[in-house]
Structure 1
Amino acid sequence: MNDYIIVGSGIAGLYTAQLAAQHNLKVVLVTKEAVEECNTRYAQGGIAAAIGEHDSPELHIEDTLVAGAGISDPAAVRVLCEEGPARVHELINLGVPFDTHDGAIALTREAAHSERRILHAGGDATGAAIETTLAGVVANTNVDVRAWTLATEIVLENGQAVGVRTLDARTGERGEVRAKRIVLATGGAGQLFQATTNPTVATGDGVALAYRAGAGVSNMEFFQFHPTALRLAGAPGFLISEAVRGEGGFLRNVAGERFMLKLHPDAELAPRDVVARGIAAEMVSTDADHVYLDVTHLPADLVLLRFPTIAKVCRSHGLDITKEPIPVAPAAHYMTGGVVTDLHGRTSVPNLFAVGEVSMTGVHGANRLASNSLLEVLVWAKRVIEAPDSLIEAPTFPQTTQAITMAAEADDTPFSRTALQRLMWRNVGIVREADGLGSALRQLVAWRDAQTEPTTVREYEDANLLVTATLLTYAALLREESRGAHARRDFTETREVWQRYLVLKQG
């Protein structure tokens, strides 16, 4: 009997798998494409941890709670910030080559952090360095890695998760794997939107799997849009790291003006949601499809040392970032909500766990603090693996909202992934309002009701995107306020009555 089935091969899946292997547990890891194809690979900025001389977990806690805009779970935030430094040192011991300066780990600052606490590797290739290291570690264990294998359904018996059904992406063969515990580590859902920093595999699979199995899903309305994705033909969604602004980069409109100075005391280092909305508004007011991120005032050797990947990609498009500003625009980046878990990664379905971007631990609240995502993975993966079987008391979860029920009144636009992404970008993007959300929801329900049983990986992904899109849109329509990454034109203020989670469950 397998001890664990882990679904996904980003840092969440690989780190959880190697921890389980250290405990001599029998592990099957399934991932729908090659092991290295995941969001982790594209993470540039780094991983946050209070390891600096003048830093502390208490300062990290304070910054995280501020960014979370009033609905982070303080207990979860404390777990993250207090246990994070030890987890980062474990990554170092596994061989992740974090950058150093004068023999010490180099630390940088990112938006909304009060201290320099971001570890990075290869300048701006942190995700790739972590992914490569962990893949190598897992390859030298007894973990049964099954690439090109899509998890299509969670198998339930007597209300408990006992396995997953699978589809071989190359042969179409169906199968079933069973284990004592199932861990969802499937990442996010950036493919919901027309512009995203996420790879094509980010289709909300884990949220859809868990929701169909009866698990609670929450905070879906707080989808985070990264302020600065490269806006050049031929480079769709390439991320320009938060750390560029952390090192002193300025945002300028097409007239060369630093517009963030008038929008927030921290200017370019304001929380992500503030910067993303500021850029979007500036693009509208200047009738432009981009603004500029300018590092030409910084020493060229510093820029090239810290951001070699960004410089290389821009150079391949004829842009020298040491001499010319970088055209950027917001793009969908991170699914702050997800499958609700407790402090041990348990969902409301017995034996079903979730780790990483697919989960909603309560850490991020309404707006994730930059570089806390990789840290959350490490902390909760450790807690999942070390949660004893004797921990059998039922976890408590926030009160739920009823399942989505509405008439499927919509136009006759046929479903396609492109149509879905355009609809979500237009109606459920950076700033929302009731009419657009309601229209989008009706169209999504109509598409959902017209679906046939999926048979291919692409069709399963489309079905998962529709489930995830519907949950996000419904939650955004219900939350009649603006908070963190969720902004409403028709409810512009933050309202105390909404200082709570919206949890959705299948009826």
Structure 2
Amino acid sequence: MSEAPTAIRYLMELGASFDPGAHEGVALTREGGHSHRRIVHAGGDQSGAEVQRTLDESVRLAGVQVVEKAFGIDLVIGHTKSGVRAVAGVKVAILDSNGGVESVGIVYAPAVIVATGGYGQVYASTSNPPAVTGDGIALALRAGVAASDLEFIQFHPTVLWVGSEATGQQALISEAVRGEGAILLDAAGGRVMAGVHPQEDLAPRDVVAAAISRRMAEAPAGVDDHVYLDARRIENFEERFPSITASCRNVGIDPVTELIPVSPAAHYVCGGVKATLDGTTSLQGLFVVGEAACTGVHGANRLASNSLTEGVVAGTRVGRALSWSLPEIVEPQEVEADGALIDSYHRAALRNAMSKYVGVLRTPDGLEAASAILRTLADNASAAVVPTRKAFEATNMLTIATAVVAAAKARTESRGCHRRTDFAEPLAAWERHLMCRIVDGRVEVD
């Protein structure tokens, strides 16, 4: 975190425009778990988009070749002259406009950086965009690289609720709204966070998400699938939160004058491929950064806005290191044959099982039920399935979901954003990381 200010200043040098403060410098806000205002923001509530715009523009200006409509299927492995197993490249599918496979080839490279994000799309409701299906993590697992802390999935407490049947990406109602004074109410008008935590509505995300889940289970006023965010006291809401205002009004809600219906949804994964903050992994030449990596920075529960910070800092470190020296080029010796895939229509069953049984509050019976459903889906895998983007994604989602459930079953305690009803407290014996690996085609946890 000590490198964060430098990384943010570097983004500004590249052209990122953050909202100015009232007097000088940039404006700062606070979010869940924060005791001080320390978060820069852009366009009110469009910080991520501004960072992405800046980086995209920098890549374009640098003349970097970008191959669009391409999907990384598997890592290609080789050995160095001294016999060390190392990355030799990536097996890539070029896709047509409908997601079908036009061709498959190998991109040879001494260094491969995985920056594919998390796996929020394994859940029926998520704040993540459609492409966040765990592809990079699954790719690394299949190459024999360990992933850590996969059971720690952060559910954002306040995702816009648009109906009990809604699936896929839902609009995020930023924690900054509560940072500016909004409060959570149940359908009967009761304060959700009163008496739950000293910081009440600005408690850490796992605390707020669990409190909302428990309150929904009580079904106040007969409502068991959402609560409300009251932001009506915030002055200049439309100016401060233009994207949130637009998202609400798109579904017929005016956040300036009305309560905003919200519920928890999968948002961020604290686990990922085991890596250092420099991006290095146990496989020479493979680097992993951002949400796809597990560096230990976030522990069992990430503080709000630390994800963008980690991504920028770690990405800068990796880029700097590789600009000075690339790993040894190796000859490819292991090119996996096309494996079995599952049909994309199985995604719905997978997502529903994960949301129902592996959500904010987890039970032993629920985890067993999820395991059984995932095993049935795995039995449907076949080499005869037509390879498409959605089939690749569905297969990766199954790999990730299986590992998540295995880790959640193994960790018999509650810690951070992993909460089990049968083990309600953290235990000293579990102050350690769980590692997931694929061995002989099966997920193993240790």
Match of 2:15 in 1: 95
1:162 aligns with 2:88: yes
Match of 2:278 in 1: 344
The gaps in structure 2 that reach 5 residues or longer are: 80-84, 328-343, 440-446
Q: In structure 2, how many angstroms separate the alpha carbons of the residues matched to 1:98 and 1:416?
A: 42
* Offset at residue 347 of structure 1 (A): 1.1
Match of 1:140 in 2: 61
Q: In structure 1, how many angstroms separate the alpha carbons of the residues matched to 2:259 and 2:345?
A: 39
The gaps in structure 1 that reach 5 residues or longer are: 1-80, 393-413
Match of 2:44 in 1: 123
The question of whether the paired residues in 2 share the 8 Å contact of 1:344 and 1:384 is answered with: yes
Match of 2:338 in 1: none
Q: In structure 2, how many angstroms separate the alpha carbons of the residues matched to 1:431 and 1:278?
A: 10
* Offset at residue 163 of structure 1 (A): 0.3
Match of 1:450 in 2: 380
1:261 aligns with 2:194: yes
Over residues 58-113 of structure 1, what are the superposed CA-to-partner deviations in whole Å (9 max), with x where a residue is unaligned? xxxxxxxxxxxxxxxxxxxxxxx111110010011111110012342000011111
1:494 aligns with 2:414: no
The question of whether the paired residues in 2 share the 8 Å contact of 1:341 and 1:354 is answered with: yes
The question of whether the paired residues in 1 share the 8 Å contact of 2:110 and 2:326 is answered with: no
Q: 1:175 aligns with which of 105, 108, 111?
A: 105
1:474 aligns with 2:410: no
Q: In structure 2, how many angstroms separate the alpha carbons of the residues matched to 1:128 and 1:384?
A: 22
1:209 aligns with 2:139: yes
Q: In structure 2, how many angstroms separate the alpha carbons of the residues matched to 1:496 and 1:86?
A: 36
Q: 2:5 aligns with which of 85, 94, 105?
A: 85
Match of 2:254 in 1: 320
Match of 1:25 in 2: none
Q: Which amino acid aligns with 2:393?
A: E
Q: Which amino acid aligns with 1:365?
A: G
Q: Which amino acid aligns with 1:418?
A: A
Q: In structure 2, how many angstroms separate the alpha carbons of the residues matched to 1:391 and 1:500?
A: 33
Q: 1:360 aligns with which of 253, 269, 294?
A: 294
Q: In structure 1, how many angstroms separate the alpha carbons of the residues matched to 2:60 and 2:325?
A: 31
Match of 2:334 in 1: none
The question of whether the paired residues in 2 share the 8 Å contact of 1:124 and 1:306 is answered with: yes
Give secondary structure in 2 for the equivalent of 1:123.
coil
Match of 1:311 in 2: 245
Match of 2:210 in 1: 277
Q: In structure 2, how many angstroms separate the alpha carbons of the residues matched to 1:243 and 1:415?
A: 37
Change (3 A) 1:391 1:186: closer
* Offset at residue 295 of structure 1 (A): 1.1
* Offset at residue 198 of structure 1 (A): 0.9
Match of 1:218 in 2: 148
Give secondary structure in 1 for the equivalent of 2:126.
coil
Match of 1:190 in 2: 120
The question of whether the paired residues in 2 share the 8 Å contact of 1:172 and 1:456 is answered with: no
Q: In structure 2, how many angstroms separate the alpha carbons of the residues matched to 1:339 and 1:146?
A: 24
Give secondary structure in 1 for the equivalent of 2:407.
helix
Over residues 278-318 of structure 1, what are the superposed CA-to-partner deviations in whole Å (9 max), with x where a residue is unaligned? 1111111124221111111222x2x1221011112212322
Match of 1:422 in 2: 352
* Offset at residue 237 of structure 1 (A): 1.1
Over residues 189-223 of structure 1, what are the superposed CA-to-partner deviations in whole Å (9 max), with x where a residue is unaligned? 11111111111111110110000001110100001
* Offset at residue 444 of structure 1 (A): 1.3
Match of 1:105 in 2: 26
Q: Which amino acid aligns with 2:77?
A: L
Change (3 A) 1:432 1:415: farther
Give secondary structure in 2 for the equivalent of 1:332.
strand
Q: Which amino acid aligns with 2:371?
A: L
The question of whether the paired residues in 2 share the 8 Å contact of 1:108 and 1:117 is answered with: yes
Would you identify which runs of 4 or more consecutive aligned residues in structure 1 move more than 4 Å? 233-236, 388-392
Give secondary structure in 2 for the equivalent of 1:180.
coil
Q: 2:266 aligns with which of 332, 337, 362?
A: 332
Q: In structure 1, how many angstroms separate the alpha carbons of the residues matched to 2:161 and 2:57?
A: 34
Q: Which amino acid aligns with 1:382?
A: T
* Offset at residue 231 of structure 1 (A): 0.9
Further displaced range: 233-242 or 182-191: 233-242
Q: In structure 2, how many angstroms separate the alpha carbons of the residues matched to 1:503 and 1:293?
A: 38
* Offset at residue 390 of structure 1 (A): 7.4
Q: In structure 2, how many angstroms separate the alpha carbons of the residues matched to 1:298 and 1:128?
A: 23
The question of whether the paired residues in 1 share the 8 Å contact of 2:350 and 2:373 is answered with: no
* Offset at residue 387 of structure 1 (A): 3.0
* Offset at residue 385 of structure 1 (A): 2.3
Over residues 335-378 of structure 1, what are the superposed CA-to-partner deviations in whole Å (9 max), with x where a residue is unaligned? 11000002321111111010101000000110011000001011
Q: Which amino acid aligns with 2:252?
A: G
* Offset at residue 188 of structure 1 (A): 1.3
The question of whether the paired residues in 2 share the 8 Å contact of 1:415 and 1:447 is answered with: no
Match of 2:336 in 1: none
Match of 2:341 in 1: none
* Offset at residue 415 of structure 1 (A): 6.5
The question of whether the paired residues in 2 share the 8 Å contact of 1:293 and 1:327 is answered with: yes
Structure 1 length as normaliser, TM-score?
Answer: 0.77
Match of 1:56 in 2: none
Over residues 112-163 of structure 1, what are the superposed CA-to-partner deviations in whole Å (9 max), with x where a residue is unaligned? 1121011110001111111122211111112110011000010001221110
Match of 2:229 in 1: 293
Further displaced range: 238-247 or 454-463: 454-463
Give secondary structure in 1 for the equivalent of 2:110.
strand
Q: 1:200 aligns with which of 95, 105, 130?
A: 130
